[in-house]
Amino acid sequence: MTLCKETEPIKIAERVNDEFQVLAPKLDLDTPWFGYISFKNKNENFEFRIGVHADKNEKIIDWHHPIAKYYYQKLEIGEEIELEPPYRNIQGAVTAYASAEGYSGYLKSLVWNDFKGTAKIIRLDDGTFVDIHENQNNDNTKVTFSKPQQEGLSDLISLLTPEQYELITQKTSEPLIIQGRAGSGKTSVALHRVAWLLRDENEIQEHHKKTKVLVVMFNKALQCFVSQSLKSLNLEDKIEINTFHTWAKLALESVFKGQLIPLSYFDLKELFDKAQFNDNKKLGLIKSHAGISQLMEAFVKAKAKKVWELIENKIKEYDIDGIRHQFKRSTTAYVQDIIEFRKDIKYRIAQEKDEYEINRLSQIEIVLQNIYEKSILYKEELFELLNHWEWLMKCIPNLTEENAKSVGLRQKIIQTKDKASSAKVGKYIEFDDYALLLRLVQLKRGGLPYGILGEEIFKFDHLVIDEAQDFGAMQLLVLLESVTSRTGVTIVGDINQKIAPEKDFVGWDEIAKLLNIDNAKITRLEVGHRSTLPIMWLADSVIGSKPILQGRYGIYPKIKSVQSSKQLKEEMIDFIIKRVEQCPNAHICIVFRNKNIIKNYLNDLKYLLRHKKIEVREGERDTFSFRKGVTITNIHQIKGLEFDSIIVGDASENHWPNDLDSCRLMYVAITRAQENFLALHEGRATPLFSCLNDPYFWKPVERFLSQKDFKPVQIIQEEWDEALSVIDLEL
């Protein structure tokens, strides 16, 4: 069905709607295609529809196609384009482009651009279409329509901006480092870039080679959230997506035969109190310092030198064939060299029939096996490293002797908890030790172990680090050393959304140094696309960022005072019922900083909303659900997620004081909301909202939005001719 020959936007929308009704059930998609672009030259018209998946029969191309680039770039009408071979025959001037959104097989909205301008068409509840631009100043026309909200993640591919598309498709020999404000699409860009790179690689590589991709983030709920978007990008079976701690635990399981149990924050506090040890934030941060890696490298090199000397002394009288000289002697990855050496000796023994030769070779194997077993005592080596305070002082600038010694004592308390009398250390570690142990493994093995026996090593082809601001330097370094090439790395984050105060963010320039690209250009995505302008205006004010007057219409955030817990729940109930009536598929999140009161509100709201059949549930890590209804959770669970509406249920001064951690956490809470933000407080309100005391606070937003509503005068030529023509003249 040709669209480019139609001139009336409403009729175009009706044709698209007819297309969707036919294609949606056939392709099993709500939106069979989301983008449209047409070109024209002297001889021919071209038109293309862009969808999540290509379909030759229906003449739909996917977002990877070279023609799709011109759709995402949002070229000017009339601008000339010419494609590279093999599409050189497609050339001409852009005559129209459009974006479409469907729901249940019907067209929901259409933005159509051609020589006449832009038409924004929406489908009303009665099934008819209306142009918002034509009706926005008509007081007699009331435009109402339902906007169903998707459950879980929204469609990513159709929403890419020209800036995001350029980042995704750029060909670069350097890693991609992206800073971005909340809702700017950082994670979407990272995932799309992986999909783009994998597609390019699949075209030039053998089909049997399986590309390995790791996506790591800080938040477990975000991991579940992002996992839902992988299907649309065709990445489900191509990537491993995990939090850092889960990934590190799985990687270490192939190394440690015994138990490795991390102690929680509360377990550590109890342990230190029992030992009368005064723990503090500074001591915990030392383990995250990049200088620890330098110490480890020097330590492993020294070990390697001694090990090779020992091997030489012990096996030279048995190695009459000089087998030992055939193997690599790495200055760091000596354990992997020993594994390869030992495998070769085992193979020779299996092939040998002479008993003397078997005994001779067996002596070499015994030596190698013993040295190997002594060389993989990673927990013991970590204990040794952190208890050499003079080593620590050499590698970590400005570290005092007192703090260096305290680091060793702290580690001793942790690692000797409930240990056997004959053992040097026990089974307990803390979460920060995951990165340190993995770094030791990487240095000694030259990569991460895998395989049934854990004797092989591998590295990932691509790596995505999301929420980089919440990772310590050692965690980042371990991740960067797990990929074959730094060109396969994409790092995204936003310092304003830092929610892990126990980690010092090394800074974007330091990340560039870790990547060995000191002069790397760090890209920043400035425009937030998730939240409305009023919501982002408040968020930027809370965090102290320069506000950006750009964004869409929306309801202004509300901060309400209540006199009791009962009234607070009544306000929540009232908001939820009204919002669900407006948008039945809305996912509303109630957030508390004080997670100890969540159960109480969960049970009460379940009871109070039962008659409305609105599901109320707790959001917790792996079990976090993104269905419509109400989720109650704590602020640390919602990092990176998005909801129709956010309610902060404890926005009082005692829970949200005026400090940096509170500012960042409140910024995260506000920017999770797409449409509505409500903060409720009992007692004095948090000072973070003191900006609202300014009577002129919303004036710039109101002025900007009123300018967007402004419709310039339009007089077509026929009107001029009619108005200025004189036919009858009275004299």
Residue 552's alpha-carbon distances to 73, 98, 253, 641, in angstroms, are 20, 19, 48, 20
Residue 190's alpha-carbon distances to 125, 162, 505, in angstroms, are 37, 15, 20
**How far is residue 337's CA from residue 343's CA, in Å, rounded to a whole number?**
10
Token couple for 86: 């093999």
Which three-class secondary structure state does DSSP give residue 107? strand
Asked whether 376 and 368 are in contact (CB, 8 A), the reply is no
Q: Is 473 annotated as a binding residue?
A: no
Peptide bond into 534 cis (omega under 30): no
Residue spans of beta strands (DSSP E) within 435-557: 448-450, 456-458, 462-465, 489-493, 523-525
**How far is residue 240's CA from residue 196's CA, in Å, rounded to a whole number?**
17
Which three-class secondary structure state does DSSP give residue 11? helix
Q: Which of 666, 665, 591, 664 is nearest to 633 (CA)?
A: 591
Q: Left (φ > 0), alpha (ψ -120 to 50) or beta: where does 617 sit?
A: beta
**How far is residue 656's CA from residue 241's CA, in Å, rounded to a whole number?**
33
Q: Is 182 annotated as a binding residue?
A: yes
**How far is residue 392's CA from residue 376's CA, in Å, rounded to a whole number?**
22
Residues 6+ apart with CB under 8 A from 45: 4, 5, 38, 39, 95
Token couple for 65: 């196609």
Question: Going by DSSP bridges, is the β-strand pair 45-51/35-40 parallel, antiparallel, or unpaired?
Answer: antiparallel
Q: Which of 312, 421, 423, 420 is nearest to 371 (CA)?
A: 312
Q: Is 51 annotated as a binding residue?
A: no
**How far is residue 342's CA from residue 610's CA, in Å, rounded to a whole number?**
66
Q: Is 446 annotated as a binding residue?
A: no
**How far is residue 61's CA from residue 36's CA, in Å, rounded to a whole number?**
10
Query: Euclidean distance between the first and final Cα of the chain, in Å?
Result: 58
Q: Is 186 annotated as a binding residue?
A: yes
Half-sphere exposure of 714 (CA within 13 A, CB side): 8
Q: Is 56 annotated as a binding residue?
A: no
Token couple for 364: 């070499």
DSSP structure class, residue 545 = P
Could you give the angle at which helices 433-445 and 378-386 cross, rounded to 10 degrees? 110
Instruction: Give how far the C-alpha of residue 483 lies from the chain's centroid of Cα atoms, to the nearest Å.
Output: 18
**How far is residue 448's CA from residue 456's CA, in Å, rounded to a whole number?**
8
Asked whether 97 and 110 are in contact (CB, 8 A), the reply is no
Q: Is 187 annotated as a binding residue?
A: yes
**How far is residue 145's CA from residue 157's CA, in Å, rounded to a whole number?**
24
Asked whether 192 and 186 are in contact (CB, 8 A), the reply is no
Q: Is 699 annotated as a binding residue?
A: no
**How far is residue 106's CA from residue 30's CA, in Å, rounded to a whole number?**
8
Binding residues, by number, are: 180-187
Binding residues for ATP, by number, are: 180-187
